[in-house]
Structure 1
């Protein structure tokens, strides 16, 4: 679904100001390079503007000129798999007003990590939970203002149409098989497949499902025809089955390598579709670079196999920002507990990894240290590449004229382990919403 222009200003400038800010002495992310160039943004429209047109054609001077002292100016980060953070889990039964309040609180805190837009993820649950919470997770750009913080780009339903042998920590008690598209409608709710309009957009943006379960591969075209991204995940699919899913319209793989048939030299499984012929587009794929889900070399192999499809995700749970301990989690048919020890999360009573508690900027820094990739390559994995996967090129994940003015100011620190990026400032729709100082 296209990201529509706002129907009202993102903010209202005061004291007769025009809302324009000029960033100078900065390194701007453009493609595969960091370019020494100024950037102008307008907090009234919430957009990046063409500086020469503003200055020479319209005779406009910026209200404020900010010297970034050579720091990096990146598009705001896009998080494509967020289960929750700061004590709030999206897969939770709450009163509607309380749930909406929790989402708003999370949005304001997420920007502190450099994330300006995200795809909230609902794990495998009973139908009642999907139908209750999905309306709260619809794309919020049409009503979002800068002070609201990060915005939802639409919900990711990770389940319940998954393989029972690759369920990870998803409860097998709520997993389903879909024989027709109507089974998805019955699960998620017909109203959540309503395309609506810019003021009431469809809540569902992406669905993760195992293509080999039921008739899912045959259903993929019906899913994608509605503007919903189909992602392969939690699956025992062979290379042939995964390839068939790509031919049917799958364009994403959920947390590559995790919860799927492992790579085998005689049948490379889902990973093998990254080597498909150019006549069949290779899918994008999520990578969790937290040091727990994947070995650093595995991350490097995935990147080298298909760098243009490489997307860093956190798969973070609600334990981000919380101290070590034991926490309750709504797990399908009942409640479970997750044990947090440092960055590692484990489902109580098992040895299964239960998502992560890492931030996206930490994933970027880890990837830089492990892969030998450049800073622009690492930043693309959380900006322009996820924007392309979500169909938001030119709107999110870039600093082109007319794009949303979602920005992150980064300090580049070098240490014995490699490069670390630190979030100094975050701007949403051309307005500063976070400063570390």
Structure 2
């Protein structure tokens, strides 16, 4: 066993509780101290005093369009360099793994970009893990396009693996695909993708409750940014929102929710959480302007304007993604939904890991998982981020912790 590190004087999120405990790390993984100290009577090679702070799993982002000037849907010629820079920068917000998200684009753009968005493990040198692409479109409803360019939206889905591969070039690097379940051949496409290990999400849709349930029962296990780009809840037909409490589903369906203070009202956050807390997955839906401040920026082929915390399609009031950070969304969700810190953190860690079927590696601090973790305070300020046991980001506010 390589160097063993012990983090002490901290509260550790484990088994859905904050425990006064130590965290032990070796060989890039969380280890059980009983198998090291109590059995061998060896002391750790080094010990760090966390001064009463909180250790939680690294945040996992399943929908993020870009940030720091990088957009995953445009400037494909510089995407490799942009992704490399992004992976390092994003760790300052506690994210240790993410699904780079492409909005609706021409098929030739997918063929060029998707090979660059392949799954990659996180590490000290390269930063956060790439968990595969989230392809948000182009098989969505034009009436709920949001910031997606309508000229590239496809009015009919593809029903065979060969057709899908012909359109995208390959599906090997696609982890999630958002589809409007009411489109022609949508259910055939969902079934085909699921059989080929692609997670299907329903969204950007005018689906009624029956169509939404059909999408889930065919294989979809996610809802793209709940409440946004879908029919509003109605008591006679709740639409996709009704999935939260549907009794007709044959599988668990998670839902993404943007808790940035703009995309979803605090009352809606409370309704969603109190209706179906175990399936809540926090997403930022952040775009290229995240981390850059006010000004005009690009998302896909569209121009957006950022003022404060709000990003809109230039010349309109239509929200165009967000400029929120994951740690701020965790704090907003905790404060506005009334849930606990543990519940809010689970929505950015364990739940997305369960959705992405990687909870055996990421999303918890269980023994044997990858040592991706974040040290935070009670306001969810990120003090330090670790990937594979290595510190990849350290705030100026914790001078002395790891010197």
TM-score, normalised to structure 1's length?
0.88
Aligned to 1:379: 345
Select which of 303, 320, 331 maps to 1:365. Answer: 331
Q: What SS is found at the alignment partner of 1:119?
A: strand
Q: What SS is found at the alignment partner of 1:421?
A: coil
Residue 280 of structure 1 and its aligned partner are, at CA, apart by 2.4
1:157 equivalent in alignment to 2:135: yes
Residue 169 of structure 1 and its aligned partner are, at CA, apart by 1.1
Residue 314 of structure 1 and its aligned partner are, at CA, apart by 0.3
Residue 345 of structure 1 and its aligned partner are, at CA, apart by 0.4
Q: How far apart in 2 are the matches of 1:314 and 1:421? A: 15
Q: How far apart in 2 are the matches of 1:359 and 1:216? A: 32
Unaligned runs of 5+ in 2: 397-403
Residue 273 of structure 1 and its aligned partner are, at CA, apart by 1.3
User: Is the Cα contact below 8 Å between 1:18 and 1:63 reproduced in 2?
Assistant: no
Q: How far apart in 2 are the matches of 1:125 and 1:293? A: 23
Residue 348 of structure 1 and its aligned partner are, at CA, apart by 1.1
User: Is the Cα contact below 8 Å between 2:199 and 2:221 reproduced in 1?
Assistant: yes
Aligned to 2:46: 64
Unaligned runs of 5+ in 1: 1-16, 194-201, 413-419
Aligned to 1:197: none
Q: How far apart in 2 are the matches of 1:278 and 1:58? A: 53
Runs of at least 4 residues off by over 6 Å: none
Select which of 86, 95, 100 maps to 2:80. Answer: 100
Q: What is the RMSD of the two structures over their aligned residues, measured on CA atoms?
A: 1.4
User: Is the Cα contact below 8 Å between 1:137 and 1:155 reproduced in 2?
Assistant: yes
Select which of 163, 166, 170 maps to 2:144. Answer: 166
Aligned to 1:115: 95
Aligned to 1:178: 157
Aligned to 2:167: 187
Quickly say closer, same or farther: Cα 1:319–1:388, change in 2 above 3 A: same
Quickly say closer, same or farther: Cα 1:158–1:245, change in 2 above 3 A: same
Q: How far apart in 2 are the matches of 1:112 and 1:171? A: 31
1:317 equivalent in alignment to 2:287: yes
Aligned to 1:408: 374
User: Is the Cα contact below 8 Å between 2:216 and 2:249 reproduced in 1?
Assistant: no
Select which of 110, 114, 119 maps to 1:130. Answer: 110
Q: How far apart in 2 are the matches of 1:131 and 1:179? A: 16
Q: What SS is found at the alignment partner of 2:176?
A: strand
Q: How far apart in 2 are the matches of 1:221 and 1:284? A: 18
Aligned to 1:198: none
Provide Cα deviations, 1:50-104, integer angstroms capped at 9, x if missing partner.
1111123455432210111221100000011110010100111332xx3212111
1:33 equivalent in alignment to 2:11: no
Q: How far apart in 1 are the matches of 2:158 and 2:195? A: 18
Q: What SS is found at the alignment partner of 1:272?
A: helix
Q: How far apart in 1 are the matches of 2:281 and 2:115? A: 26
Q: How far apart in 2 are the matches of 1:411 and 1:374? A: 14
Number of residue pairs matched by the alignment:
394
Provide Cα deviations, 1:275-295, integer angstroms capped at 9, x if missing partner.
122862341000001111111
Select which of 269, 294, 297 maps to 2:264. Answer: 294
Q: What SS is found at the alignment partner of 1:147?
A: coil
